[in-house]
Structure 1
Amino acid sequence: MRLSFFARTLLLLLALLAASLLVVGQSFRTLDLEPRARQLAQQVVAIVNLTRFALVYADPIGRQAFLAELQENERVQVYLVEPTDKIEAPSGDLLSQRFIEYVTRSLGTQTTFARTVNGLPGVWISFTIETDQYWLRLERERLERNPGIAWLFWGVGALLLAIVGAVLITSFVTRPLRQLARSAEKVAVGKTPRPLPVDGPSEIALVNRSFNDMVSALSKVEEERKLMLAGISHDLRTPITRMRLELELAGLDANARSGFETDLAQMDSIVGQFIDIARPTVSTEQDTVLAPLVLKLGDRYANDPRGKVVARPTHAEAAVRGDLNAIERALTNLIENALRYGRPKEGAANVEILLSLEPDKSGKALKPGQKRWVRLAVRDHGPGVDPEDLDRLTRPFERGDAARTNASGAGLGLAIVDRIAQQQGGRLLLQSRKGEGFTATLLLPAA
């Protein structure tokens, strides 16, 4: 799964933060180890010496009372060393090693240490009184550091503050990139975005300034292209109209007249495509149910001599939010394209207009963030095109192979439809198999 720049930056900051906390924690443990081991050793040596002194100079009755008080108040027990004692050696961590070293310096090398004696855990240290050996047992919790709930609270609080800071820093860093990405998306669908701010960091300001200059240059080129196409189309309409008038007065025979009329109709269609390309975008977005439009176009082309057109709106309630006139123009271009190029070698074209809703009415709940899409498809049963040629059919002045070019054209029909689909927030999908027909689908976001 490809992560966004925001997610990558945030994960990097969190990883660096975690590494820093580990280094700081390890450094603290290392620096704290020596003083802590020395302090624990001093406490244990003092307890052992006081216990030995009390046992040596106390009478038997007082000795028993002293041992009972040690066990009850100080949680210190004294046991006689037996030959059958089962001893488990202390752990080999660095703190234990340094602790044993300091205690041995004070009590002597004959001192024995244990982690458990006869299965009873604790801190066990041996000492000698005359010829007798004793065990002094301390509870392990007494020597181990217990930071308590306060340390946990402050640790969690510091971690949360660090995460919030990382999110804010990452958001601040990636905000200009998100603005640039949104503006680039608008440029990709033929819209002109607002100028990006150029008052941020020098690198971002340079990128935004260059992007604004690029958008301005593209807008000028687009306006000049539209003006040129509109001018050419306007200038061609006048001689076409004059030729139609002269054809009416020429008194030609039927065959010659039919040929001239076909040529003039093709010229007029090409001029109309140029006008569609040059037509400015006018936003008249509204929620519109598409079934009436599909049925209207089906009725309009029901008696077309070029072939049979059938409208099949599967989901009559399917609606989009967009420019109805632009959608009608795109759907008309697809129908004309199917009637013109979707004829089989023998007979007339067979065209279907399909309207459906995705995900369909299957009762399944939409996932969070999932959109519904209206699928508006025009399908013919003609010769089709090679799948390798589908990508280039939406480029201006590109046409299919010879099997679908039995009529002349400028190659702008699908380019116009693709442009309208992008302007409406959707896309154009083309599907075809050689000899099995051609399907052009307008996929538009549902209202």
Structure 2
Amino acid sequence: MTLLRSLFARNIALLVVLVVVSQISSLSVLIHFVQRPRIERAAETFAIYVQTLDDLLETATPDAQSRLAVRFEASRQFPAGAASEPKVTWRNFYRTYQRDVFIDTLRQHLPSNMQVQWQTAGEQRLWIRAHLGHEPYWIALPVPEAAHNDGMLSAVALSFALAALAIVTAYLIQRHINRPLQELANAANRLSSGEAPQALRVDGPTEIAQVSVAFNQMVHALQEADATRSLMLAGISHDIRTPLTKLRLAVAMTSPSEEHAELAISTDHYLDQIDAILQQFMDYAGSGAREAAEISDLDALVNNLAADFAGLGHVFELTLGDLRPFAFRPISVMRVLMNLMQNAVLYGRVGLSARTWTDAAGHTAYVEIADRGKGVNGGDLDALRAPFKRGRSTGTHPGGTGLGLAIVERIAKLHGGELQLMQREGGGFAAIVSLSMRPPNQRSLEERGAV
């Protein structure tokens, strides 16, 4: 159904219809305005010859009449079965049409008492009721094969062959035109997933080249805006962290009194939180697009992070799927796992688990981080993906900026995957991240394969 709705399929269907209509119209014009007048003129000429022959037969001598009767197979009665009509099929349609036009025209130009019949059974002959002497006889005139077979079937076959050639040519032309459009769609998909697509070729048709030029300009502008945003956030982070460092140093060097000890601890905690928020903004701005993919072991990465959290008192139950190493951005994926594990600790706290597996074809890797906490309302699941949306912490930690899941989703799309959020049966919350195990260049080839 998707193919039928595509511009490619619609244009091909339109071209096929136009070619078929043009061929049918051409054949109709050929038959009605060229062939039919030619047949009618031949019938008119033949009518003159028949009348001349009738006059000669009528005035022939008795001896000549006997010889002519044998020569023309003269018979007072029309031969039985000579006027049988063949069954009309697509193969003999035009021949039957020619014969009918010829006979009708011939009858119009002969006297009313001079009947005409075309014998179609066996040998092709034209029977005419002429006068041998002064008596009416049916005489047979043989019809050569060339007289009623003028190669029209060959012309029709050639016409259909040319139509098929035109359709194939139109298909190839449309495919050539459709390729840059497909490349544009693939580049847009890569751009939306966070990748930096290569510049599109601008050597195609003028209209498509203009679209490619505009798209390349848009990508360049977005890259410049992204670089400017990253530079601005880096500058803000640096400018804010400098006084924060001084403030942290001042708090550490101050010897607070016993009554202000809690204030000092709280101040240090707030400074840590501000620093963490700044780092989240930097992570969201970067999202790993500039990091190169490496052949790495996802199971080992999950296992190492689970061990780190276990050292902090948060034990994750591991179920690893023995994944084969594949290409991914290790730092970015580590950021994904840390964000999900931190969310599980912060919002779930109990029943922590981490699980990995692949699909049946072995083309996609999945990581599930789950807990047995209170979960989230079903209507809030999609909202959690948006930046600055946060759930409610079950602990004393006040939470972050709400960028964690947005970062996870952007990195997942960068790896040809997605983020799924769901409620667990029996209570709790699960986040599942999928990552494509195909090499990036193979994913690009598969996208082009749809062209």
Interval containing the TM-score (normalised by the shorter chain): 0.7 to 0.9
**Partner-residue secondary structure (3-state), 2:389:** coil
Specify the code of the residue in structure 2 equivalent to 1:336. Q
Q: For 2:295, what is the secondary structure of its paired residue?
A: strand
The alignment status of 1:357 with 2:348, answered yes or no, reads no
* Paired amino acid for 2:327: R
1:81 to 51, 55, 77: 77
Unaligned runs of 5+ in 2: 439-451
- Higher relative strand content: 1
User: How much does 1:410 deviate?
Assistant: 0.3
Work out the CA distance in 2 between the residues paired with 1:122 and 1:255: 120
Cα gap change, 1:418 to 1:141, in 2 (>3 Å): farther
- Out of 310, 331, 337, the residue aligned to residue 302 of structure 1 is 310
Counting only pairs closer than 5 Å after superposition, residues 36-115 of structure 1 correspond to structure 2 as: 36-39=39-42, 42=45, 62=67, 66=71, 81=77, 95-96=98-99, 98-112=101-115
Name the counterpart of 1:368.
none
In the alignment, what sits opposite 2:129? 127
Q: 2:327 aligns with which of 321, 328, 334?
A: 321
Q: 2:149 aligns with which of 145, 148, 159?
A: 145
Once structures 1 and 2 are overlaid, which stretch shifts more, 44-53 or 204-213? 44-53
* C-alpha RMSD of matched pairs (Å): 4.3
Change (3 A) 1:121 1:61: closer
TM superposition score normalised by structure 2: 0.75
Question: Which residue matches 1:211?
Answer: 215
Q: 1:286 aligns with which of 275, 286, 294?
A: 294
What is the alpha-carbon distance in structure 2 between the residues aligned to residue 318 and residue 136 of structure 1?
Answer: 90
For 2:373, the equivalent position in structure 1 comes to: 382
In structure 2, the residue matched to 1:428 is 419
Shift in Å, 1:413 = 0.6
Quote the residue 1:223 is aligned against. 227
CA distance in 1 between counterparts of 2:395 and 2:136 reads 111
Q: Deviations over 1:140-187 (max 9, x none)?
A: 966543638864774455234313431343245434433433332333
> Does the 8 Å CA contact 1:339/1:351 hold for their aligned counterparts?
yes
Letter in 2 for 1:392: A
Which structure ranks higher in relative contact order (CA pairs < 8 Å, sequence separation ≥ 6)?
2
Distance between the aligned counterparts of 2:143 and 2:337, measured in 1? 86
- The CA deviation at 1:48 is 9.3
Q: SS where residue 393 of structure 1 aligns? A: helix
1:337 aligned to which of 318, 333, 343: 343
Counterpart of 1:276 in structure 2 is 283
What runs of 5+ residues in structure 1 fail to find an aligned partner?
68-76, 362-371
- TM-fit CA distance, 1:37: 3.8
Superposition deviation, residue 264 in structure 1 = 4.7
| TM-score, with structure 1 as normaliser | 0.75
Tell me which of 396, 405, 412 is aligned to 1:414. Answer: 405
- How much does 1:267 deviate? 3.5
Counterpart of 1:367 in structure 2 is: none
Amino acid at match of 1:20: S
Structure 2 equivalent of residue 391 of structure 1: 382
8 Å CA contact retained: 1:382, 1:435: no
Q: Is the 8 A contact 2:47 2:110 kept in 1?
A: no
Does 332-341 or 409-418 show the bigger shift? 332-341
Q: Secondary structure at the match of 1:228?
A: helix
Shift of 1:22: 1.7
Give the paired residue count: 420
Moved more, 296-305 or 233-242: 233-242
Cα distance change of structure 1 residues 338 and 261 upon mapping to structure 2, 3 Å threshold: farther
Q: Which moved more, 1:399-408 or 1:213-222?
A: 399-408
Q: Could you report, residue by residue, the CA deviation over 1:284-321 in whole angstroms, capped at 9, with x for unpaired residues?
A: 2233342222222232323543x44122123x134432
Q: Percent same amino acid among aligned pairs?
A: 28
Whole-Å Cα distance in 2 between the matches of residues 217 and 187 of structure 1?
Answer: 12
How many angstroms apart in 1 are the aligned matches of 2:47 and 2:309?
102
Whichever residue aligns with residue 41 of structure 2, its letter is: R
Structure 1 window deviating more from structure 2 (104-113 vs 194-203): it is 194-203
Moved more, 79-88 or 412-421: 79-88
- The residue identity in structure 2 corresponding to 1:66 is R
